[in-house]
Amino acid sequence: MRPLIGISCCQKPFGVFGTPNHAASDTYVRVVRGPARGTPVLLPAAGEDLSAELIPHLDGLILTGSRSNVWPGHYDGPAHAEGTPEDQQRDATTLPLIRAAIAQGVPLLAICRGMQELNVALGGSLDQRIQDLPGRMDHSTPSDQPIPRVRTGKAHGVRIEKDSALARLLTPPSRGTGRLAVNSLHNQGVQRLAPRLVAEAWAPDGTVEAVRVDGAISFAMGVQWHPEYDWEHDADSRAIFLAFGAACGAHRAARLGQAEIAQAAE
């Protein structure tokens, strides 16, 4: 059996009555079925901590990207500018889920909003509009290009720490140069890095582009870009999901092995 990989959902209004729905992009389902070689399980933005019920059944966890932003109260930040999308239902489910996944060694891959959540869950804070800060670049979704091109195109380079966990899983050319070109669809970014996170990649303006959890039992990494959009054509995007999927497979084997040992002892 393939590893069960949880995909965090957002809560979004749907239909004429704006009924709250739980949604995740199809790209995450495809990438779990593809290079991660898992069975995707959508995790609702239930507005409560479900970690004790979910974690024992999961072999991996993807914290998805989303246009919404982590509620600033979670990092003692100033209120968002009016009109900034939030999803407190999602925060209430994902923040404890991240902490539990790390504590129990469930492999975790955090993408864009997911990486921001990872930073906040572990005690970090966020800049809310990087483009307004002196000397920083505009990392937001360009409005003058068609969306498919924005998602699969390259917006800027990143410098990757030599011999880092990220560098080790990339293709040999990118590992060798320590450079990668990535897409960019975000306004927010790491301000204060959480004590347990180690930065492993940076944009030219110093924005943290990738992190890993120090001392994690299993794969626990975040990227500020979106490798899920172009994994069919981009070998480095694919490499991230191959490594994550391998960790999920190993977690499943260990989890089922432990269950068998416990059963045999009964």
Ligand X SMILES: N[C@@H](CCC(=O)NCCCC(=O)O)C(=O)O
List residues near ligand X by CB under 6 A: 65-69, 112-113, 141, 151, 185-188
Q: Which of 22, 156, 186, 226 does the annotation list as catalytic?
A: 226
Cα separations in angstroms, 144 against 78, 83, 150, 185: 30, 21, 9, 13
Whichever of 164 and 188 has its CB closer to ligand X, that residue is 188
Give least dist CB 186 to ligand X, A: 3
Give least dist CB 172 to ligand X, A: 29
Whichever of 112 and 248 has its CB closer to ligand X, that residue is 112
Rounded to 5 degrees, φ, ψ at 264 are: -65, -30
| Token digits of residue 221 | 């990494």
Whichever of 113 and 156 has its CB closer to ligand X, that residue is 113
Q: Which of 117, 200, 209, 228 does the annotation list as catalytic?
A: 228
Whichever of 65 and 245 has its CB closer to ligand X, that residue is 65
Burial class (CB in 10 A: 0-12, 13-18, 19+), 169: buried
Distance CA 209, CA 13 (A): 30
Give least dist CB 219 to ligand X, A: 20
Beta bridge partners of 61: 6, 108
Q: Which of 112, 156, 186, 248 does the annotation list as catalytic?
A: 112
Please say if 112 is a catalytic residue: yes
Give least dist CB 239 to ligand X, A: 21
Distance CA 220, CA 237 (A): 16
Burial class (CB in 10 A: 0-12, 13-18, 19+), 9: buried
Whichever of 29 and 250 has its CB closer to ligand X, that residue is 29
Give least dist CB 65 to ligand X, A: 3
Give least dist CB 257 to ligand X, A: 35
Whichever of 26 and 266 has its CB closer to ligand X, that residue is 26
Distance CA 226, CA 231 (A): 10
Rounded to 5 degrees, φ, ψ at 125 are: -130, 170
Cα separations in angstroms, 93 against 41, 99, 188: 15, 11, 20
132's enclosing H/E stretch is none
Beta bridge partners of 159: 179, 202
Q: How many residues are given for the chain?
A: 266
Residues noted as catalytic: 112, 226, 228
